[in-house]
Structure 1
């Protein structure tokens, strides 16, 4: 077993958030990530985490010498409203736990269009807008994750209009500015917000089907 040559405490109130992952409006959850540099003695070091208003995946970290560490701030409440945490698990955190990153979902807009001469095609346009304000003193990345509808019928098409997204086999583990979409129609839309910056970001997609056909939506997990 490695010897711990130095032990110190880390106050994460002083560690800035570098990324916020926002899930769909239905889940109303987000995950905050903090990355910080460690300047410790050679050998193994133990860093205790204290004074953070969230439960954590882990309450301490061990690193070999100076380096970079990542902490995910996570919080969850049971039915009685009491905080609880299970070791080795990662939780989703309710929006608004960090007052310096403000997220607001605008009402979803749906409207109908019709096209075609020989065969009439109905189009349902869906727009979801997320407004975000970064009140932190540092630049942050924000990823809006949206599950678009998936068709099981070749006559029903789902087309993403905005943002322009790159098709990928699976979501990138480290998001970068831009948008990408998987074959399962999972859209990750990542933007960068400077200190004090606000922005509104819209996801718009169109569902097309023959006028004579009726469509229904089914949610599967």
Structure 2
């Protein structure tokens, strides 16, 4: 990437940018010339490592801690992007939380924690993005293909992501006239910690065999979809839920 293009490039905020799909997205957007704000909740070391990798590749990045369910902290996250890089063009809200249990057995505290991260945080970030994004920008939220697949034990997680999809489609229409796109990416089973944690090898193998492509998705697969939606080439895609799942039905 030419240094001049780096200096004049666009700016992205990636929440959940310290690991998994978020971290892969940080690297992918850097490759496209973005300066990146790596948003993270608690793991400072991983987030700063992600920012250092960008710098080592000749790019620009800064790690910023924020509880994205809290509006003051999200406002500060966006303000840091303004201070460090001059504005915000793309927001990728990759932070997420999953807890699996049958509805009859799910503790309400766990359900509330899932909703706080997946629903409240998405709304808080999306609201700030709607107020802040520059013309020609993009907001990418995260849903899940499980919304349509209706897997048992995924009730709280799927319900939370159904709200994300509804908000995404409404916001795309509310931003009419500003040349800003709003889309959701809905991964299928993906080899990242959020999916793999708590699953035995048999379960992982069974889910990996379900798509016609007969494998799990990778964080790289999903980051490519995000990069397309963030790029000028993907700007005609607006108000959509992109199910990036290898054809699983």
More helix, by proportion: 2
More strand, by proportion: 1
- The two structures share one fold, judged by TM-score above 0.5: no
**Structure index of larger Rg:** 1
TM-score (structure 2 length as normaliser)? 0.30
